[in-house]
Structure 1
Amino acid sequence: MLYWTLKYVLLGPLLKLFWPTKVTGLDNIPKTGGAIVASNHLAVVDSFFLPTHVKRRIVFLAKSEYFTEPGIKGKFKKWFFSGTGQYPVDRSGGSAGQAALDTGVRLLREGRLLGVYPEGTRSPDGRLHKGKTGIARMALQARVPVIPVAMVGTDKVNPIGSKMWWPRRIEIHIGAPLDFSRYDGLAGDRFVERSIADEVMYNLMELSGQEYVDIYAARAKELADAEHAGTRVAVPMQEHARDATRTPETEAS
Structure 2
Amino acid sequence: SISKKRMASASMSSVSARSSASGGGFSRAFRISASFGSAAAASQSWNAAGVTLAARAILFDNKARSLTLPHIQVKSVVDVDWSLLKQRGMTGVLLDKDHTLTAPYSDELYSKEVADAMSRCVTCFGRENVWVLSNSAGLRSYDPHGHEAARLSNLWGFGVATHTYRKPDPRCIDEALQAFPAGTEASRVVFVGDRSLTDVAVGNAAGMVTVQVSPFPGVRADAESLTTRFSRRVEQCLTSMWRGQGAQAPTHPFLV
TM-score range, shorter chain: 0.3 to 0.5
Q: TM-score, normalised by structure 1?
A: 0.38
Larger fraction in strand = 1
Q: TM-score, normalised by structure 2?
A: 0.38
